[in-house]
Amino acid sequence: MKLTKIFALAVLAAASAAYAETISMVDLGEGNYTSVGDKVINITGSQGKTIENAVNIIPAGGIIILNGNFKLDSQINVKKAITIRSPRGSVLDAQGKSRVLRLQGQGIVIENLTITGGGGGGYVFEGGGINIDASSIDIINCRITGNNASFVGGGVSFAMQGGESKARFISCDISGNYVSLQGGGIYAEKGNIELINCTITGNSARFGSGGICIEGSASASAVNCNISGNTPDDVSGNLTVSGQASSAEAQEQEREQESSGGGCSASGLGLALAAVLIWRKHHD
């Protein structure tokens, strides 16, 4: 009888220990606690480190919900299929110390955020705001502004060094970014970009395109977008136009295409980039 009781108590203790382990809480910082197995993590605060900690522990398919404006001391690296969103439009500000986001995964969603302050005092080579590499990304209702890079992609750089990527920008404002060489707003080298209901204005580059620079094997499509007011130009390289264009250059290309009865393209080398920009009517 005593042995039976001892065995029962041992089993109960082991079960209790296992249960305690499954509900153990993780301190994300600033009073934010979560369980390692949580699929949804809510963060209220101002320190970028809390976001980094949440990204590291959340499982694939999880959602991180941000409340507040966050100051970053280093870039946030996302390498798995998660969503980072804010109900009130939280700001991620790198304070000129680093890039804001580096995205390297399939099925990543970034929604309703302001991405700003990226650049690292000229030490960020590409993608001052966001660097996308070998990924499949949806960026929705985001503002990417006030970022810079020392070479390409002041706001966003896309698949420059790694494998091909695919990205959709939906209802985004990419404005007021700067790059020392080319692609003040967006620079892409491999893969495909879709721009839907986006505004790309007021970006600048010292050389090359201030708005969108697409070279190599990359291609892009833009639907119902405003691409204008970028310095020294909006889009450079090989441009194919169909549908309604919003930028001055795209409208001119469209007029030439109509008058000639055929496709219209321009190509070049170096800073006269090999690019494809297709304007077409979008169907969801």
Per-residue pLDDT of the chain (284 residues; tens, 9 = 90+): 444 444 444 444 444 444 444 557 899 999 999 998 899 999 999 999 999 999 999 999 999 999 999 999 999 999 999 999 999 999 999 999 999 999 999 999 999 999 999 998 778 999 999 999 988 999 999 999 999 999 999 999 987 666 778 999 999 999 999 999 999 999 988 888 889 999 999 999 998 899 999 888 888 888 889 989 999 999 864 434 344 444 445 545 444 434 333 222 223 323 223 232 322 223 22
At 61, the amino acid letter reads G
Find, among 98, 106, 56, the residue nearest to 80 by Cα: 106
pLDDT value of position 119: 94
Dihedral angle of Cα 188, 189, 191, 197, to the nearest 10 degrees: 20
Grouping H, G, I as helix, E, B as strand and the rest as coil, residue 216 is: coil
Both tokens of residue 98? 């680093």
Q: What does DSSP assign to residue 175? A: E
d(CA 78, CA 97): 18
Return the closest-CA partner of residue 55 out of 69, 73, 41: 41
Through-space distance between the first and last CA atoms of the chain, rounded to whole angstroms? 70
Token pair belonging to 126: 């590409």
Q: Which residues contact 171 (CB under 8 A, 6 or more apart)?
A: 140, 141, 196, 197, 198
Q: Which two tokens stand for residue 233?
A: 């130009």
The pair of structure tokens assigned to 82 is 């998660």
Q: How do residues 195-245 score in pLDDT, each as one tens digit?
A: 999 999 999 999 889 999 988 888 888 888 998 999 999 986 443 434 444
b/e burial code for range 153-179 (CB count within 10 A of at least 16 → b): bbbbbbbbeeebbbbbbbebbbbbbbb
Domain ranges of the chain: 39-279
pTM for this predicted structure: 0.78
| Nearest alpha carbon to residue 144 among 168, 121, 116, 106 | 116
How buried is residue 15: exposed, middle or buried, by Cβ count under 10 Å (0-12/13-18/19+)?
exposed
- What pLDDT sits at residue 56? 96
Q: How far apart are CA 250 and CA 242, in angstroms?
A: 9
So what's the pLDDT on residue 151? 93
